[in-house]
Amino acid sequence: MQAAVGYSENPITEQAGQEAARAALLQAGRTDPCALALLFSTSRHDAPALRSAVAGVIGTSASIVGGGAIGAITNDRFGYAGDQVGLALIWLSEVKCDLVVEKDLDKGAEQAGERLGKQLAALEVRPESALTLLYDSIYHVNGETRMVMATDLLRGIRQALGFLPDITGAGLQGDYQAGATMQWTGADTRQHAALALHFSGAAQIDHVIMHGCRPATGYYTVTRADRQTILEINGLPALEFMDKLLDSAIAPEDYPFFLIFGINLGRKYAEFSEHNYASRLCLAVDKQRGGIVMFEPDMTEGTQFQIMYRSLDLDYMIPRIENIFDRVKGRKPVFALYINCAGRAAGYGGVDLEDAVLLQKTVARRVPLLGIYTGVEIASIGGIPRGLDWTGVFCLFSIPERTAAT
């Protein structure tokens, strides 16, 4: 197994695809057809034209998968909210990669997840199997914009399989305005799809979660909720409760993309461990019902949570990334995929620190790196894959040392 990455910010779609593909081939030092291409771009690019441009350089035999991303990161370049294209080319040796695709996410994420799970069952996927899940996180129906819930999609997969494999992945989004985007699903370009890549054979995927948030308060309880809208906290209307708790220091209209709740899936009063926390980001407020709208619908009645604060020191990422490289000693790391919440971008969050820069310095040239800025991230918390917010998920692909990259 061998990987190589390419990047472009060319505003002309055809040229951007060609530039990214040629850069990846140059890095790989080979011209034979690859098996898999992971392609991501912002919504400024025409999806069919971009796919065609990449295929024109790498050939038509590769499965091209991916979709919208708010930005991209490689070992030496990164950017977001512009004309970014990120590409990874992967040659497989002693590794098998199965691709399964389900459409019609807009007609029901749970049902699509169940169909996807049935396909995975036919591949004899096991709980320890490594899967990468990519899905269209935004859909537009009759002029209304809605989010596809990772919670629902994962629930459907679990219903079909009876368990959830070791899934990492992303809810794809092409811009900060939640505009419509397309996906590449192997040989096709479509909307409203979910796809899974099942890596088997010699491949191993290790991952670590990074969100840089710590609890700022004690525990509070959701006492009434409607899907993703928290209506009551500790018996009071949610907006009223938060306003009193924060002493009116933050106006409710400033809650979206700022207010973060943490769900501790470990022991309640144990020493803090980031591995045990699922971060939940506020999406909007429902002033009419006094509610707080979250990105996912899993903060149901009885859920206990804490308010989280963001760390301004990104150095916590270094030992986490190094730990992953230490974990695979005795194996050959071949590729790193970084799935990064778009809200963590410094230009969006109004801070000076870019996690992409620290990521690049830490990974350096050890493996080809492809990062994408996403709407939702997926990784295991407490042994169960979940949709996450305000999170970076670092995934390291490795093979046995004896396996040659051919």
User: Is 406 inside any structural domain?
Assistant: no
Residues 99 and 231 in one domain: no
Using CA atoms, how far apart are residues 58 and 27, in angstroms rounded to an integer?
Answer: 13
DSSP 261-299: EEEE-S-TTSPP-GGGEEEEEEEEEETTTTEEEESSS--
Asked if the structure places residue 288 within a domain, the reply is yes
Under DSSP, the state recorded for 125 is -
- 31/194: higher pLDDT: 194
Q: What are phi and psi of 122, to 5 degrees?
A: -65, -25
Give a yes or no: residue 32 inside a domain.
yes
Domain boundary among 310, 343, 361: 310
Together in a domain, 108 and 47: yes
pLDDT at 401: 87
Indicate whether 405 pLDDT > 80. no
237 in the same domain as 124: no
Same domain (yes/no): 248, 288: yes
- Any domain includes 98: yes
Per-residue pLDDT of 247-274, as tens digits, reads 988 999 999 888 999 999 989 988 888 8
Pair of tokens at residue 371:
């990062």
Confidence of residue 382 (pLDDT cuts 50, 70, 90): confident
**148 shares a domain with 10:** yes
Q: How many domains does the chain have?
A: 2
pLDDT average, residue stretch 345-353: 77
Same structural domain for residues 27 and 114? yes
What span, in angstroms and rounded, lies between the C-alpha atoms of 89 and 366?
17
> Tokens at residue 138, please?
């935004």
Helices 47-58, 13-28: crossing angle, 10 deg rounding: 30
Give pLDDT, residue 404: 45
> Among positive and negative, which fits the CA dihedral 113, 203, 90, 122?
negative
| Sequence-distant (≥ 6) Cβ neighbours of residue 326 within 8 angstroms | none
Across 152-176, average pLDDT: 96
- Are both 230 and 360 inside the same structural domain? no
Instruction: Quickly list H helices, 29-165.
Output: 47-58, 109-122, 150-161
> Is residue 168 domain-shared with residue 290, that is, in the same domain?
no
Each residue's pLDDT tens digit, 215-248: 999 999 999 999 999 999 999 999 999 999 999 8
pLDDT digits over 8-24, tens only?
999 999 999 999 999 99
Residue 343 and residue 249 in one domain? no
- Say if CB 181 and CB 138 are below 8 A apart: yes
Q: The pTM is what?
A: 0.93
Residue of 110, 108, 151 lying closest to 303 (CA atoms): 151
Residue 405 in domain: no
Find the mean pLDDT for residues 78-103: 96
| Tally of CA atoms within 13 A in the half-sphere of 161 that contains its CB | 24
Q: Same domain for 157 and 249? A: no
pLDDT at 349: 66
Q: Report the distance separating Cα 102 and Cα 112, nearest Å.
A: 6
Q: Range of 269's domain?
A: 213-310
Q: Are residues 41 and 85 in the same domain?
A: yes
Mean pLDDT over each residue of the chain, to the nearest integer: 93
Residue where a domain stops, chosen among 310, 336, 366: 310
Question: Does position 403 have pLDDT exceeding 80, yes or no?
Answer: no
pLDDT of residue 350: 64
Asked if 193 and 284 sit in the same domain, the reply is no
| Residues 84/356, Cβ–Cβ less than 8 Å | no
Tokens of 310: 């963001």
Domain edge (last residue) among 289, 310, 331: 310
Q: What is the CATH number of the domain that holds 258?
A: 2.40.30
